[in-house]
Amino acid sequence: MPILMTLLSIIGAAYFWSGRARNARDAAEDIVHVASDVRLAFRRMGFKRKTNIHPVDAIEDNDQLTAIIAKAFVEKKGVVTLNDIVRLREALRHEFDCTDQRAEDLTIVADWAIRECGTVDAALSRASRRHYKTHEMNGFQSLMRVIGQITC
C-alpha cells in the first residue's frame, strides 16, 4: 500500500509540474504573438525608426499623433477599461474613415509611444508638441473631435 501511495504521489506531482510547464509555454507564446502584433502594426503603418531621435519625434502622420494624444487622455483619467479602448478605436475609425485593422494599429502604436515616453504626461506633452510642429492647426479639429468622442 505505501508503494501505491508513493507511485500516485509521483504521478500527481509529475502531472502538476507538467501543467505548470505547459502554462509557462503558453504565456511565452502569447508574449511572442503580442510582440509580433506590434511589429506588424509598425510595418503596416510604415514607421521607420531614426537614430538619435525620440520615436515620437520621428512620427509625421497626423492620424498616429492624434491617436497618441487621445490614448494619453484615456490613460490620464485612471484605469483604462476595455470599453474605453473600444470607444477610442471607434472614434479613430469614424474620424479617419479607416478600417478596424487600421484603428487597432493606431491604438497599438499609441500605446507603444506612451510606453516609450515613460509617463502619460511626457507622452502627451511630446506628442502635442510634435502635432503642432507638423500640422499646426490643420489637424487640431480632428484631434478635438476624437477627444470629444472618447470623453463623452
pLDDT at 90: 93
Tell me: do 34 and 7 sit in the same domain: yes
Over 70: is that where the pLDDT of 99 sits? yes
Tell me: do 40 and 68 sit in the same domain: no
Closest CA to 37 of 107, 127, 99, 117: 107
Over 90: is that where the pLDDT of 78 sits? no
Tell me: do 79 and 136 sit in the same domain: yes
pLDDT at 49: 63
Tell me: do 69 and 25 sit in the same domain: no
Q: How far apart are the first and last CA of the chain?
A: 69
Give the count of domains, the chain.
2
- Is residue 50, in this structure, part of any structural domain at all? no
The predicted-structure confidence for 12-28, as pLDDT tens digits, reads as follows: 887 888 778 787 777 77
40 vs 57: CA distance, rounded Å = 21
The pTM for the full model equals 0.68
Tell me: do 134 and 74 sit in the same domain: yes
pLDDT at 87: 92
Over 70: is that where the pLDDT of 39 sits? no
Q: Provide the domain limits for residue 100.
A: 55-151
